[in-house]
Structures are given as structure tokens and as C-alpha cells.
Amino acid sequence: MQWVGNNLGLVAELTLAHIALSIPPIVLGGLLSIPIGWLAFRFPTWRGSVLGVVGVLYTIPSLALFVLLPPLFGFPILSELNVIVALVIYAVAIMVRSVSDGFASIDAGSLRAATAVGYGPWQRFFQVELPLAGPVLLAGLRVVSVSTVSLVTVGVLVGVKSLGYLFTDGFQRRIEAEIVTGIVMTLVVALIFDVLLLALGRALMPWSLLAKSRLRANEAV
Amino acid sequence: MELFVDAWLWLTNPENYTSEGSVIQRSLEHLAYTSIVVVLAAAIAIPLGFFIGHTGRGRRWAVGVAGAARALPTFGLLLYLVLLLGVERRAIAAVIALVLLAIPPLLAGAYTGVDQIDRRTLDAARAQGMTGGQVLWRVEIPLALPLIVGGLRSAVLQVVATVTLIAYVGLGGLGYDIIQGIPLRHFDQMIGSALVIVLLALLLDALFAAMTRVVTPKGVRSAGGEDIRAREGSRRALTRAR
């Protein structure tokens, strides 16, 4: 505890850096996955190959990706861009499947009803399909958020500072409290992001609470 | 692209296959850690998941723990455990950290595997006079197997990816040449090793995909054969179908 008291400034600085590194992959990954996942859902012939490519991306270890991206895209290995691009790729890899599942979970009758009352394809997508797929998208985004916040720490191995710095620094200086602080703060950041995502979901989809209880009632049958 | 040529030259250099710390040796170390960790984690998580799925007890607890464990940064845990247990016991520390990483997907696979079985199937099995043990071994386990293998697949992939990090505490594996190469800027060995890890992960993924297909009981099409990562969707599809 003494270590934390003496290093509050460092912990705060690294926590902010960690948050700054975590937000772009979650937001960009979420946005990019919606069109890709929708294509995978809408065109069954592409579905296999899209989900296959995404599955392959997901299997690449993060440290390997941090090493392979710089020569591919031409940015320096020590740049924050490297870590962010790698984590966007993971986010897409996790999220595309959820997006595709989310659209697949929509009752076809609702879509036909929307068309029948005169919704155009774009209007139907934004006002019917996207909101109905929302709860599954949110579930996927929560997984993306948790795994991104945790993976950012690995970036310290290629020199990108985050809460992971407390792991390597604490290890080299043999200060257990420093590592524990890093772990606890990572968990705290993940928890805060999760709470924010849940609040966002509740604000955007007030009906999803109702749907959940109905789902549970179905399961009991 | 030049760097990939260098990596290729490194990978095809015979010296890297005969000397101490060869690519082959590093791959074997990597696989050894992966298998020890997954076997230990499976021994803990699969019976536990079965118990939870079978009795419905501790359901909330399991979901909560699995979610929280996903947020736990394994790299930090690894370094903490090495300091805690002492550097000479760092291999044990690494195995513990990795087992904790592998438990959630295995638990989820075993739990959803049992939980998704239609109650009526079990009632029918009992009505035919099967004993509790027979229901478990001849109905529940075969029906849960595809999702259990799906859980194994996720766990193996996560562990293969993370074993890369144990080189930081002086244990081997394919991460060794990456972590040692970063400060020295030896891009050939870093990229070469990274490519070998990717290849290893892809091979294991393909192996488990094939295994999932093999263990799916004949006549089970709706629930089986799904990747564990799709379980949210498949469970939804199941509840909708009822």
C-alpha cells in the first residue's frame, strides 16, 4: 500500500494512458464489425469465408501481431498505432460473429412487417434491424471491451506504456505491490467500461430488459 | 517486405534447427506448456461445469467468475506469481497463471453443453429405465461433447497465444526469440517466430474444428458442431425454436 501512496501520480498517468489506448479499438472495432457482420449474415455464400477469415485473425497471438503489423503497414514497432491497430483487428474478430448472430436472431416476421408498412431498406436497417439486433451486439461489445482492456497490457513488451508498465517495472524491481496495483487497476478499468456499456445499452434499448425476462421465461418452459 | 524475406531466411537457416534453442525445441516447449496447462484446467473445469449444468447450482457464480476471469491480465498475474513463488519455481507460477486463463472457456463449454440439452430428452431417457449413471454417460455426455470440445478449442487457442509471454520470465517457448529480439531489434527472429506461432495456432484450430465434427453425435444437427464463440447465438436460436 505504501508503494501506491508514493506513486499515485504514476498510477493515474498510466491509467489514463491505458484508457486512451483501449477506447479506439472498442469503438472502431464495434463500428467496423457492423457492416462486415451484416454482410456475413445477409449473404450465406460469403458467411463461411468471412467467419473463417475472422476466426483465423482471432487465433493470432497478440505478441505475434504486435511484431507482424509494423512490417506490413510500415509503422514503427514502438508506436501506439501498432497496439491500437492490433486490438482493432481482435475486436473485429470477436465482434463480427456476434453481429452476424445478432441479425440472425431477429424474427423474420418483424422484418416482413416493417417492409409491409413501407420501410425502405436503409430505414428498415437503422430503425428495425439494428435495434432488434442490439442486445446481442451489446453482449459482443462487452466481451470486446473486457478483452481489449486486458490485452493493452501486453503492449508494454513492445514499449507502449499502459498499466502493463507496472507489471514489467514491478517485476524488474521486485515490488509485488506494484504488479498487484497494475492488475487491480486493469480490472477496475474493465469494470468501469462494462458498467458504461450496460448503461449505454439501457439508455438506447429500454425494451431489452423486458426481452431478457421474457427469454428467461421461455427457457424455463 | 524486406523484413519478411529476412524472416524467411532466418526460418530456413539450418543453424536454427540444430543449435541450442532451435525452432523445433521452442515449438516443443510451447506445445508442452500448452498441453500441461489445458489438461490440468480441463480436469478442474469440465467436471465443475458438468456439475453446474447438471444441478443448476452455482450458475450465477460460474457466469460471474468466468466474466471476471476474462478481465484478469494474465501477463501481470504471471509476473506476480513468479515474484510470490520465487524465480526457481517460475515454471509452476506460469502453469498456475495459464490454468486460470484456460478455466473460463472450458467451464463455459461444459456448462452450456449440459445446460442446452432439452429436458424432455433426459425425461425420455429416464422413462426408458436408464439409471442416473446411464443418463450421464450415454445421453448427457455425448450430447454435451461438441460444446465441450468447442470450449477446449477456445482454451487451447488462448493458452497457445499466452504461452508466448512466459519467455519474459526466462522460460522457453516460441515467445523466446520475440521477447529477446525486441530490445536487440532482431526483426528476422521476431517475425520468424511470430509466423511459427501463427502457424501452430492455425494447425491446432483446424485440429479441434475437425474434432468437433467427429464428436457430434449422428442425428444431432441443431445444437451440435458449433464453435463455443457462437454459443450466445445458438442458445438464442434454441430458445426460439422451442
* Other Cβ atoms closer than 10 A to B129: 7
**What pLDDT score does B33 carry?**
93
Please, what's the largest Cα pairwise distance for chain A? 68
| Angle (nearest 5°) at CA A105 between A102 and A111 | 105
Burial B135-145 (b: 16+ CB within 10 A, else e): bbeebbebbbb
| Angle (nearest 5°) at CA B44 between B166 and B61 | 100
**What pLDDT score does B36 carry?**
94
Min Cα separation A213/chain B (Å): 13
Instruction: Tell me which DSSP letter residue A157 carries.
Output: G
Q: What is the Cα B8 distance to its own chain's centre? A: 29
pLDDT digits (tens, 9 = 90+) for A184-207: 999 999 999 999 998 998 888 877
Residue A149 binned pLDDT confidence (cut-offs 50, 70, 90): very high
Min Cα separation A5/chain B (Å): 19
**What pLDDT score does B233 carry?**
42
Lowest mean pLDDT among A3-17, A54-68, B224-238: B224-238
Q: Comparing C-alpha atoms, which of B86, B14, B83, B75 is closest to residue A164?
A: B75
Scan for cell 436497417, then name that residue.
A125
pLDDT digits (tens, 9 = 90+) for B156-207: 988 998 999 998 988 888 888 888 888 887 788 888 888 888 888 889 888 9
pLDDT digits (tens, 9 = 90+) for A42-101: 888 888 888 888 877 887 888 888 888 888 887 877 788 888 999 999 899 889 888 888
CB contact under 8 A, B190 and A159: no
Min Cα separation B229/chain A (Å): 8
Interface check for B216 against chain A (CB to CB < 8 A): the answer is no
Mean pLDDT of A163-173: 92
Mean pLDDT of A111-131: 86
d(CA A134, CA A210): 13
First-to-last alpha carbon distance for chain A, in angstroms, is 51
Are B4 and A71 a contacting pair, CB within 8 Å? yes
Residue A213 confidence (pLDDT) above 70: no
Average confidence score pLDDT of chain B: 81
H-helix segments, A43-158: 44-59, 62-73, 80-104, 108-116, 121-124, 130-151
Residue B134 confidence (pLDDT) above 80: yes
First-to-last alpha carbon distance for chain B, in angstroms, is 54
Are B122 and B114 a contacting pair, CB within 8 Å? no
Q: Return the H-helix or E-strand segment holding B111.
A: helix B90-115
**What pLDDT score does B227 carry?**
45
Q: What is the Cα A9 distance to its own chain's centre? A: 28
pLDDT digits (tens, 9 = 90+) for B44-99: 999 988 888 877 777 778 777 777 777 889 999 999 999 999 888 889 999 999 99
Model pTM score: 0.82
ipTM, two decimals, is 0.83
Interface check for A48 against chain B (CB to CB < 8 A): the answer is no
